[in-house]
Amino acid sequence: MRFFLVDDDEVIRSLLTHIIEDEDIGEVVGEAENGENVTSQLLNFKKVDIVIVDLLMPIRDGIETIRSWNGEYKGKTIMLSQVESKELIGEAYSLGIEYYVTKPINSNEFVSITNKVIQTILLERTVGEIRRTLNGVLEITNNERKKEPAVKNYSITEAGEFLLSDLGIIGENGSKDLMEILQYLYEHEENDTFEMNFPSMKELFEGVARMRAGDNVSTMELLRETKASEQRVRRAINQSITHLASIGLTDFSNPKFENYALKFFDFSIVRSKMTELKNEKTGHSKHVKIHTKKFIQVLYFEAKKLVQSNRMEMK
């Protein structure tokens, strides 16, 4: 089973990841510290079976997160909270959650509940297969056949959400800027490649800021928004280095670490961050040189690959 964790407490996310992996009940394919950017498109793109979401979180809480999906996410949801309000619990169940687990988390209870949800998913899949088989047998004419829903053609920003989730920064403020940058590049790309003439960072951030603020924005406002956007992106990138370095320290052969760490960052940077974390320093971003352009280039081309791969699967 594929899990996605949404909780503002990193310790809780880490605990849940260990339980899920140690008990061999699935894999964690993404996580976020609030629900703002956890969209139904992202969950469906990552083929998430079960979302574990905290009730009380900053920016967007668990209930608002589930409500924002508008029923488009078809997987199962388990809600966590220290709050035991009957009203909130009732509202959570009305939105379709499977179970409500109170904190602090009891490992045995969580495993038991998760296994029940997994059994429900497997049962539903079996029933679905039987129903599809019966429908195929009972069909008489082509007009009566029920067609499977078409595979969705994912956008560049949805592909970006997938990557930012794996990079551990889907909940960062800079993630919105990065997705806007992807959209900007995708719309302005010419001759199917930027390899020989990728926009400068100044041109890119100004272009996105102008797209966001409008053509009538003043020079001062444009400069202010450009600098603010660049700072948010740099903070997000630094958080991504920390996230990947943490994974590498725990498991150097982790697929996410192997696939992303040296693709998005220079080895010397990743190694420095791993050393810093290992020595339990309280380092700041100034200890690591941020290669913003490289990160954005790789993010864009990787997102394009996902979009193109998705389109090939549709054919």
Q: Which pLDDT tens digits describe the chain residue by residue (315 residues)?
A: 999 999 999 999 999 999 999 999 999 999 998 888 899 999 999 999 999 999 988 888 899 999 999 889 989 999 998 877 777 777 888 888 888 888 889 999 899 899 989 988 887 887 777 667 656 655 544 454 445 444 456 788 888 888 888 888 887 788 889 999 999 888 887 544 555 577 888 988 998 888 888 878 788 988 999 999 999 999 999 889 888 888 888 777 777 888 888 889 888 888 888 888 777 644 444 455 778 999 999 999 899 888 887 666 555
Note the pLDDT of residue 20: 94
DSSP 252: T
**Tokens matching residue 25:** 């009940």
Note the pLDDT of residue 28: 93
Nearest by Cα to 117 from 19, 49, 63: 49
Spatial CB neighbours of 89, under 8 Å, sequence gap ≥ 6:
100
Cα gap 244→254, rounded to integer Å: 10
**Tokens matching residue 276:** 């810093």
Spans of all domains in the chain: 2-117, 156-314
pTM: 0.63
Note the pLDDT of residue 26: 92
Q: Provide DSSP, 146-162.
A: PPPPPPP---HHHHHHH
CATH fold label, 2-117 = Rossmann fold (3.40.50)
